[in-house]
């Protein structure tokens, strides 16, 4: 996968050089490039914003630098794919790259969307700041991208960079070879529509609190049943909304007895 991030604060994305995502980049499992939007300005002040038509507080990001930046990265994934592809590169990159615009007015990011986006050949993230990006950029971008405004949640950030850090980690860790043990992806919160069960490690007794005895029993059937029950209990307690969405049809026979 190829990821491009456009921002006026490229240094904000430095954490993507660290840890799991940083190693994936070093191992060639993920190609990620960060671009400074100001590179695509033409005036001596490298202006990226201006006052809003219709009045109001704050500034709006100008359209032309964004169009120049997005044109510059569009298809880079296909180009990379084509150069890397030994076979029919015509089929490589035939899909438009996905332009993800972090926005409080976007669809909610969740694990299902992370899995969906992890299948893409190229993701481009446009980090808006100020009061946002001129809406005409979003409309124009539909010619070159599949455009998806995405929200991390119902709260206000100062820009899209923090959202991109979260989304790139959530998506990048799903790519083949990134997480050491792929099995660890199976039992995570939200991987099956429920919250994950509680975990414990040594010592078995700590500050007069004991690890649940079933986990020390060696009875793997009972342990699995206890863990599944804990998933349902936790989800009902903390995220009843998820239970409402949970596909009861996916319940196994064992689930029905927890």
Ligand X SMILES: Nc1ccccc1-c1cnco1
Q: Which residues bind ligand X (CB under 6 A)?
A: 102-104, 128, 151-153, 155-157, 159-160, 163
Q: Report, in Å, the least distance between residue 57 CB and ligand X.
A: 15
Closest CA to 75 of 33, 114, 121: 121
29 vs 157 by CB, closer to ligand X: 157
24 vs 100 by CB, closer to ligand X: 100
Angle, alpha carbons 110-115-116 (nearest 5°): 95
Q: Report, in Å, the least distance between residue 39 CB and ligand X.
A: 20
Closest CA to 164 of 179, 152, 180: 152
Q: Report, in Å, the least distance between residue 246 CB and ligand X.
A: 25
90 vs 105 by CB, closer to ligand X: 105
Closest CA to 104 of 64, 54, 159, 55: 159
Burial of 37 (0-12, 13-18, 19+ CB in 10 A): buried
* Helix or strand (DSSP H, E) at 169: helix 161-172
Q: Report, in Å, the least distance between residue 231 CB and ligand X.
A: 27
Q: Report, in Å, the least distance between residue 13 CB and ligand X.
A: 14
The DSSP output letter for 42 is -
Q: Report, in Å, the least distance between residue 22 CB and ligand X.
A: 23
102 close to 127: Cβ distance less than 8 angstroms: yes
Peptide bond into 67 cis (omega under 30): no
9 vs 246 by CB, closer to ligand X: 9
154 vs 183 by CB, closer to ligand X: 154
12 vs 197 by CB, closer to ligand X: 12
What's the CA gap between 142 and 126, in Å, rounded? 13
What's the CA gap between 59 and 41, in Å, rounded? 17
């Amino acid at each position: 996968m190829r990821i491009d991030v456009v921002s006026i604060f490229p240094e904000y994305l430095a954490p993507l050089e660290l840890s799991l995502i940083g190693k994936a980049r070093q191992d060639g499992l993920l190609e990620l490039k960060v671009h400074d939007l100001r590179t695509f300005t033409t005036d001596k002040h490298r202006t990226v914003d201006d006052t809003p038509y219709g009045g109001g507080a704050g500034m709006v990001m100008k359209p032309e630098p964004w169009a120049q930046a997005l044109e510059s990265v569009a298809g880079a994934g296909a180009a990379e794919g084509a150069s890397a592809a030994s076979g029919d590169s015509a089929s490589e990159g035939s899909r438009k790259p996905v332009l993800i615009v972090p926005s409080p007015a976007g669809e909610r990011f969740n694990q299902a969307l992370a899995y969906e986006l992890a299948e893409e050949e190229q993701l481009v993230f446009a980090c808006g700041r100020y009061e946002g990006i001129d809406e005409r950029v979003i409309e124009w971008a539909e010619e070159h991208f599949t455009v998806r405004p995405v929200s991390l949640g119902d709260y206000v950030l100062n820009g899209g960079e923090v959202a991109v850090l979260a989304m790139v980690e959530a998506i990048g860790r799903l790519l083949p070879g990134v997480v050491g043990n792929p099995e660890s992806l199976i039992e995570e919160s939200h991987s099956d529509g429920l919250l994950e069960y509680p975990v414990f490690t040594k010592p078995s007794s700590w500050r007069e609190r004991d690890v649940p005895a079933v986990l020390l029993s060696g009875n793997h059937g009972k342990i699995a049943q206890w863990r599944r029950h804990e998933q349902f209990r936790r989800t009902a307690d903390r995220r009843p909304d998820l239970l409402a969405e949970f596909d009861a049809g996916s319940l196994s026979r064992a689930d029905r007895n927890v």
